[in-house]
Amino acid sequence: MAGRVVAVRILRTAADVLVWALAVLGVFSLGVWGATALGLIQPLVVVSGSMEPEITTGDLLVATPVPVEDVEVGDVLSLRNDVTDRLVTHRVIEVAQHDDGSWHVRMQGDANDSPDAGEYVVTDDTVLAPSWQISGAGAALMRLTDPSVAVPLLIGVAAILALSLMPRPGSGPTGGQQDVAHEPQDDDAARQLAVASSRSAS
């Protein structure tokens, strides 16, 4: 019985820790979403090895806007490919401003034998450049979003959260001690009744 009580306490403690961890993760995720929506950052998951060995498949990049006029040959940028409509993260091998004010950038992956096909035309004042790199975090993020992993994980989290919300024994207003607290009062009443009866009899 004692072992069962200890096990329940451990599970409840783990559930409480999980609740706080989820709360912190929720606040962090909300902050990341807000910063992304405002254009302050752009999380990117690396899906190819074209920039190895510096940037490897499965890494998580966090790109931030930088002035396009500050871009130099050798910088790494994340520019949108007009054909695939996806961001490509490669190294700048040529950059020039045209008479119409637009910037034309040519890039090439470090592991590629040839430059990217065509030029990247930039008409905005800023471009995205990776500022932080978290090794392997992108692969972990993609795995967590896979239904075969996400569904069982959500079920497990929901079960632990349900356990943390269950009422604890003795956590009510009287804490399960109401009967014990009234027993002495019942004994006193019985004694007083006995004394009164004996006096009446005399």
Residue 94 has pLDDT above 60, yes or no: yes
**Residue 129 has what pLDDT?**
97
Q: What is the largest distance, in Å, between two alpha-carbon atoms of the chain?
A: 123
Strand order in the sheet with 60-67: 42-45, 60-67, 126-134, 76-80, 87-97, 103-108, 120-122
Q: Who wins on pLDDT, 148 or 102?
A: 102
Residue 38 has pLDDT above 60, yes or no: yes
**Residue 99 has what pLDDT?**
92
Residue 180 has pLDDT above 50, yes or no: no
Q: Who wins on pLDDT, 172 or 14?
A: 14
Average pLDDT for residues 143-171, to the nearest whole number? Answer: 69
**Residue 76 has what pLDDT?**
97
**Residue 179 has what pLDDT?**
46
pLDDT tens, residue by residue, 110-152: 999 999 998 999 999 999 999 999 998 888 877 766 777 667 7
Residue 73 has pLDDT above 80, yes or no: yes
Query: What's the whole-model pTM score?
Result: 0.67
Lowest mean pLDDT among 24-28, 47-51, 53-57, 82-86: 24-28
Cα dist from 61 to 22, 41, 178, whole Å: 23, 10, 60
Residue 166 has pLDDT above 80, yes or no: no
**Residue 104 has what pLDDT?**
96
